[in-house]
Amino acid sequence: MATEMEQGFSRERRVRSIISRASELIESTLTQDYGVPREEAGRLEEELFTWFDRLSRRPGVPESRKMLQSHLISMTCKVGHVYWSGRVGESPADERVRRALALGPEIIAIEVEKQLDATNGSDVNP
């Protein structure tokens, strides 16, 4: 039983650490890359963290910090992309947002992840 508790504590600590490290970048990805208004971005960020916490509890989900971080960044970009998909008939005025939408969430996620790795140092603990 202690092993399960230790694993839960370790998982929770890892999830909090990933969220803490990625929080600013997630907000800037939503607001700058995808042009989501700050208030809406805050709400989406909370939903992303709830989703991420649940994801991390699923059996079979990789436990490494790097893999979990990749899932969070990927979903952030998908959420930003879907935000604009729901705005039928509207076209973003900001060139950065148009670029993100044209490249797609997968490419933007790769760019964001590289940026996060550079910020935190390329040696992210497993």
Query: What mean pLDDT is predicted for residues 111-125?
Result: 72
Query: What mean pLDDT is predicted for residues 49-75?
Result: 89
Residue 7: its pLDDT value, please? 56
Angle between helices 65-85 and 105-120 (to 10 degrees): 140
Residue 115: its pLDDT value, please? 85
Query: What mean pLDDT is predicted for residues 52-60?
Result: 89
Q: Which residue has the higher pLDDT, 38 or 13?
A: 38
- pTM for this structure? 0.81
**DSSP for residue 94:** -
Distances from the Cα of 51 to the Cαs of 15, 42, 66, 72, 126, in angstroms? 11, 14, 17, 9, 21
Residue 119: its pLDDT value, please? 75
Residue 81 has pLDDT above 90, yes or no: yes
